[in-house]
Structure 1
Amino acid sequence: MQELLNTATLGSIYLLFALGMALAWGTIGILNFAHGAIFMFSAFVAHLITNEVTLPLPVIVLLAALVGAVMSALTQWLAFEQILKRSKDHRAAELRILIGGIGVAAIPLAIAQKVTRSSPFGFTGSSYQPEVFQLGPLRVTSTALIIIVAGVGIGVALTWWLKVSRQGLALRAIGVDAETASVMGVNRSALAVATMAIAGALAGMAGALLTFHLQAIAPETGDQLLIKAFAMIVLGGLGSMVGVIVGAFVLAGAETLVFVTNFGTWVDAVSFGLIFLVLLMRPQGLFGRQEVRRT
């Protein structure tokens, strides 16, 4: 039961990180390789501020979410949108966006590494003090409970919003056929910036919560989570938010099992192995649909 609780906590962190990436990739077709850097740098900015001002956990999480939203929206507006305008179509721009994301990610990573000298950082100036609850044989912290509630709650709310809201319908229409959606009055550019802002806010929130949970993260932590996010999205199926939720907890469960069986050095291999197996056996993922193209 304790390991299941640890799996739920780890899966919720993975879910918060992957939701924004899956949202942007599955709707507006932006595979943002700067997502990990935004995740890290949002927590880093909050770290710098808490060194000067004492803040509670909710304020720090909101601050990191705001920084992430601004960084992601600016990345879309100043970089990715300009690449799209200079490409003949979206397919031609995909590789350029991928490379552009790597270039954008290098900037905040270099800043954080220089300031911290590549050392881990945390929220030492925070007023938050985690509580430990003992429920029979189970030991759970208040931080873990916050992470689980936030991860599952936001995952379910985002899935519901995409299915029932007008904006969610417009985003799904862009994911199916951007040109037809534009003809029907969907403002792709505005929705793309808003979608990237939501993705960045989720990344910032995940960065702050993971920092509270581990007490410190390194500047390279975001890059390490990118491959795990790929595994979750591929496992669940691109375009399926339910698939991302399931994929996050399946990956967390697999990694926890590896740790429990004393094969900790194989944790990263689990992510690659899941991607490889899914691509071989079910390329569209557990909840994805096969793509049909008509010419």
Structure 2
Amino acid sequence: MLEQQLINALSLGSVYALFALGFTLVFGVLGVINLAHGAVFMVGAYAALTVITALNLPLWAGLIAAMLAAGVVGALIDFLVLKPLRRRNAPHLIPMIATIGVGIILNNTVQGIFGASNLRFPHGTVPEESIQIGDLHVTAIELGIILASFVLMAILMIVMRRTQFGRALRAIAESPKAAWLLGINVERLFLVTSFAAAALGGIAGVLIGLYSNALFPLMGQPMLHKGIAVIILGGMGDIRGAMIGGLFLGFAEVLSVVYIGSTMRDAVAFGLLFLILLIRPQGLFGKIVQRKA
């Protein structure tokens, strides 16, 4: 039924959007494409699994653990890797290469601790009842993913546009040097941004682990590829674009499975993305500008 497939597409697109929110936040403020974000996403999922299984705590405690674990990892990446590179005025490609290495280290570390086989959250972690609206069935995890992505996007939009903190971040995104001259503690806000973006990735890791019912050390790699596609489609560094780009990719994948076949889902989705970027290379909400010193 088409209506049911649209619900599936909305939940899948919301997962992509939630992952991309943290991804685009780092790029918008730090000007770095953090290619370790997929591994941080995976760390959050495993942190939640550990808390829920080892300590027998409920899902909300697992989500908090995922946020804290992923956030700390994200802050450490900024403090130990990105900050020294900023001090040396390293070219833009160097941080990308460095974060690839960090991602590999995180993947191998988790694989060494938990093994390479698939793990699952315990039965009953999420209520199995579904909400029925006519012929539509919406599960608790689908509803949670959709609500979480839209609520977090709204919170980020409000913070960025209506608070002093958000104005400081926008000033840094425009010109870190000018922000520093205005008295903004640029390095501290870089650290806070890295923590917040990674925490969002950790939440996304838990939700996709519940949605797919599988956790494995390389689970972040497919999401990383989709996340890059989403932020490019939506416009690099734009929160609205991350949300709409994620939903677009989710709908394109699900509808291509329905009408063409599962073997063509990625080809169709990325083909449509390519066509859109041919028409609008800067993405849906992006601007072709150069970041100032």
Structure 1 equivalent of residue 154 of structure 2? 156
8 A Cα contact 2:39 2:106, kept in partner: yes
CA contact (8 A) 1:242 1:287 kept: yes
Select between 158-167 and 257-266 the one with higher mean Cα deviation. 257-266
1:24 Cα deviation (Å)? 0.7
Do the aligned residues in 2 keep the contact of 1:54 with 1:125 (CA within 8 Å)?
no
1:80-119: per-residue Cα shift (whole Å, max 9, x none)? 10111122xxxx4321100110111111211222344321
- Equivalent residue for 2:25? 23
For residue 221 of structure 1, report the CA deviation from its aligned partner: 1.5
For 2:42, the equivalent position in structure 1 comes to: 40
Assess if the C-alpha contact under 8 Å between 2:256 and 2:269 holds in 1: no
Q: 1:271 to 1:176 in 2, by over 3 A?
A: farther
CA contact (8 A) 1:76 1:196 kept: yes
In structure 2, what is the equivalent of residue 191 of structure 1? 189
Q: Decide whether the 8 Å contact of 2:18 with 2:243 is kept in 1.
A: no
Q: TM-score, normalised by structure 1?
A: 0.92
Give the conservation status (yes or no) of the 8 Å contact 2:234–2:285: yes
Cα gap change, 1:275/1:101 in structure 2, threshold over 3 Å: closer, same or farther?
A: farther
- The TM-score, its normalising length taken from structure 2, stands at 0.93
Letter in 2 for 1:234: I
Q: Given residue 77 of structure 1, which amino acid in structure 2 is its aligned partner?
A: F
Which letter does structure 1 place at the counterpart of 2:122?
T
C-alpha distance in 2 between matches for 1:38 and 1:237: 22
The alignment partner of 1:119 has SS state of coil
What SS does the aligned partner of 1:55 have? Answer: coil
1:186 match: secondary structure: coil
SS in 1 for 2:283: coil
Match of 2:240 in 1: 242
Residue type of the alignment partner of 1:130: E
Aligned residue number for residue 232 of structure 1: 230
Gaps spanning 5+ residues in structure 2: where?
Answer: none
CA–CA distance in structure 1, aligned partners of residues 188 and 54 of structure 2: 36
Residue identity matched to 1:123: F
Q: Please provide the CA RMSD for this pair.
A: 1.9
Alpha-carbon displacement from aligned partner over 1:245-275 (angstroms, at most 9, x marks no partner): 1111111110111111242122333454345
Local SS of the residue matching 1:140:
strand
Tell me the distance in 1 between the aligned counterparts of 2:166 and 2:124: 36
Counterpart residue number, 2:213: 215
* Structure 1: gaps (5+ residues): none
